[in-house]
Amino acid sequence: MDVAAGCTGRWARAARLVSNAQAPLAKARPARGRWTPALLAAIAAVASGTLPLPAAADDSGARNVGLAQVFAAPHAGALSTPPVTPEAFGRTAEMHARAAPTNQWFSSLLFGRWSQVLHAHPATYLAGADGFEIGYPHQTTVDAGGRGKDIAYPHHAALTLIPTGFQALDARLAGQGDFSVTVRMGDASGQALSATLLHGSPFSYYTLSSGGVRVKLAAGAHRCATAVPAQELCVEALDRQFALFAPPDAHWNAADSGEPVLEFGASGRFLSVALLPDALPATLAEFRRHAYAFVTDTRVDWHYDPATSQVETRFSATVEPRVAGADTALLGLYPHQERALVDVPAQRFRFDSVRGAILTVSRNSFRTVYTWHGILPFWPGLEDPADRQRLASVLNGDAARSRNLFSVQMGRGTYWYGKALSAVAQLMDIAEQEGDASMRDAQLASLRQRMETWFGGSNRASYFVQDARLGTVVGYPDEYGSVTHMNDHHFHYGYWINAAAQVALRDRDWADPAHWGGMVDLLVRDVGTAERGRADFPFLRNFDAYEGHSWASGDAVSSDGNNQESSSEAVNAWAGLVLWGEATGNRALRDQGIWMYTLETEAIRNYWFDAGGVLFPPEYGGRAVAAQVFGGRYAYNTWWTEEPRQIQGINLIPITPASVYLAYGPDYIHRFNAALAPEVKAYRARGMSDGTPDDVWQDLHASFLALADPPAALAQWKPRGSTELGETRSHTLFWLLSLKEMGPPDLTVTADTALYGVFRTPGGARTYLAYNPMDTPIEVRFSDGQPLAVPAHSLARVHGSTIP
């Protein structure tokens, strides 16, 4: 983990990843800054739990959450505290009254006097000491050493807006919509330039309290050939076209110079800036029609319909007309939105971006619809006696050694502990479905006891703190900047929420808010609060509803923008919301989790996997995955290693019943696996081996292959080979044998309930599954007409007729 830079990287994961061999710390890859021996030693000591923390002087800040306990501050002597958003800058007073929106595309605004690059797509922005910069990036390649090329869309200032009436001292977050932000650049007297920026839109909107605006153009910029009214300016800069639209009584001075100045009249001090696809007269006329429809707020609403298994999202913008008749905005759709758009409009403007072509739509709202393909809390027991016997011999050993899962020396914070909880929960599920109640009860007791120890707050090395200044819950000890940089909360807490849901499905009393459920609810709210404007937690901390996926870095202090590496761990978190919501009877949370899971998986297909083969350019070298997706870059790399099996595998972990979304394309699965062999060969040819086992993560790759070809996956898996440190051999074998018996997931069939799954053998025989968490039986109907009666608190299975 790059503690200095606050990236989402996880250097110690080198271990998880190398299975039985630890990669040396020297392989860490911080984005900036330098590791010192003292810092490395201190971090390693804290991560391993070998550095004792001094006793706290005062625990009066502790409060009870049911039977759990959360602290108001870390114990005395703790080396890590959440980042501070200064009162002097970062946020306006109004925004300081709310929880800080960390882990978003604009979060760098919160932690410094000026922002890092804000990748809004297709535009980039930077609020800096020289003014407010606007860019429209071009695709470039970045030499990644022996790894080939990364693809980047770096920011370059084509235009810089500079107030003439005052000098801005800082840039602050002044407002937040669901896919828009307002940035205020002001001085000590209250004079300010305010900028409203939208995801996807070619437009940005500006108001000033006094004076005019000087526009510094990039070197070589010039006016467009198309004539425009006196209050407008059309320029070409850095091989891109831009238009600036001011009030009718405004005018430009020195319009042909490199620094034209806008002077306002009595109509007001405002302007909009648009990226243009071209500078043709018809194009300028169309953009002029939208230029004075100022977007002041944005909102996302969602709805899950169990009857149709459809997930609908409505994106809407509030518009303030700045001239008569200007009431319709020009919004931009990402590729994943365009493919799911309801009421497709006729549009012809597209903009280049790192996510692919962005399509503009002339409207203030639009809807998308996706299909919910269901998940299950666990799969049923094996039916083949030989398979059951083979599994039993492995399961007994893993269950007996399950306590060792908590002894992994990679770290003792919420990430590694959460992974161990998840692994034990999977062992419990398998034991239960295989009919071993004694083993099930032992693992259930272990889950309860281990979570209660953390939640209870009695262990001075492992506890939770609710930080009121930032608006968050953080777990101690810090892992990978989860405290110091607010990184990866959804990765960490997703494991905990899933494990807690497994307990709750069997012990609802344990999950009562007056008992231990209240603490789980705090973790849920930290990553998934659906209310806007709260002081304790921000709205959807990690989730970017417009881009359709999550962000991992808390402070986003990188010129490439925010980033997310392990998209599959984000999916795991949202699956946890679904299961916790079902287990506790919270349908609103369940529906929210379904919505987040569905959007995240669609984004993964488009931007991490490029399953349609339309995003990655030839310069990317034919690779099958972007292991790291940034605001302005994608890369075939990880934060801890350049080893290809881990680079590709990081977007597979953890393998759970919620991983069925990975089965959407057998052709892609085979392409993913085929691309791995030449990457491994090239890696070895560079002499990069650091002691990593030759079969590292072979269990994960076999599990992925099983979603397309179970017999081939079983043949590929090595029972005594390397095991990913959050996995067990029992779970991998159970997964492979289950898919051998049932066949891969069949995503063409849906059901009128949330927790379901359909599988189909190569011969066409379908297996239908559904889980009922309620106290009364339910009747489930699948979209192909198959009925299934499901008793209360039960998983039911029926085999349908063979489909030709």
Local structure of 624: helix, strand or coil: coil
**DSSP string across 450-501:** HHHHHHHT--TTSEEEEETTTTEEEEES--TTTTTS-TTHHHHHHHHHHHHH
* 570 vs 21: CA distance, rounded Å: 26
CA distance 803 to 485: 52
Looking at residue 285, the DSSP 8-state letter turns out to be: H
Hey, is 742 helix, strand or coil? helix
Q: 10 Å Cβ neighbour count for 681? A: 10
Alpha-carbon 531 to chain mean position: 19
* Location of structure tokens 């502790």: 62
The whole-angstrom separation of Cα 570 and Cα 756 is: 21
CA distances to 72, 778, 789 from 793, rounded to whole Å, are 38, 10, 12
> In sequence order, what are the residues at sequence separation of 6 or more whose Cβ sits closer than 8 angstroms to the Cβ of residue 475?
413, 414, 454, 462, 463, 464, 465, 482, 483, 492
452 as an active site residue: the answer is no
| DSSP assigned state of 505 | T
Torsions phi, psi for 256 (to 5 deg): -95, 5
Q: Are strands 140-143 and 149-152 parallel, antiparallel or unpaired?
A: antiparallel
CA of 277: how far to CAs of 206, 236, 283, 357, in Å? 21, 11, 8, 11
Q: Which of 232, 488, 643, 727 is catalytic?
A: 488
What is the Cα–Cα distance from 700 to 723, expressed in whole angstroms? 8
Backbone φ and ψ for 779, nearest 5 degrees, come out as -115, 115
Half-sphere exposure in the Cβ direction for 21 (13 Å, CA): 14
Cα torsion 626, 630, 633, 637: sign: negative
Give the HSE-up count for residue 646: Cα atoms under 13 Å, Cβ half-sphere: 28
Spatial neighbors of 601 by CB under 8 A, at least 6 apart, are 571, 661
Q: Is the peptide bond before 260 cis (omega within 30 degrees of 0)?
A: no
Catalytic residue among 170, 286, 436, 565: 565
CA distance 486 to 201: 28
Say how far apart CA 141 and CA 151 lie, in whole Å.
5
Contact predicate 343/369, CB 8 Å: no
Query: What is the chain's length?
Result: 804
Specify whether 565 is catalytic. Answer: yes
Q: Where are the alpha helices (DSSP H) in 78-207?
A: 93-96
Ramachandran category for residue 269: left, alpha or beta (phi over 0 → left; psi -120 to 50 → alpha)? beta
Active-site residue identified among 2, 150, 569, 643: 569
Residues with active-site annotation: 488, 565, 569
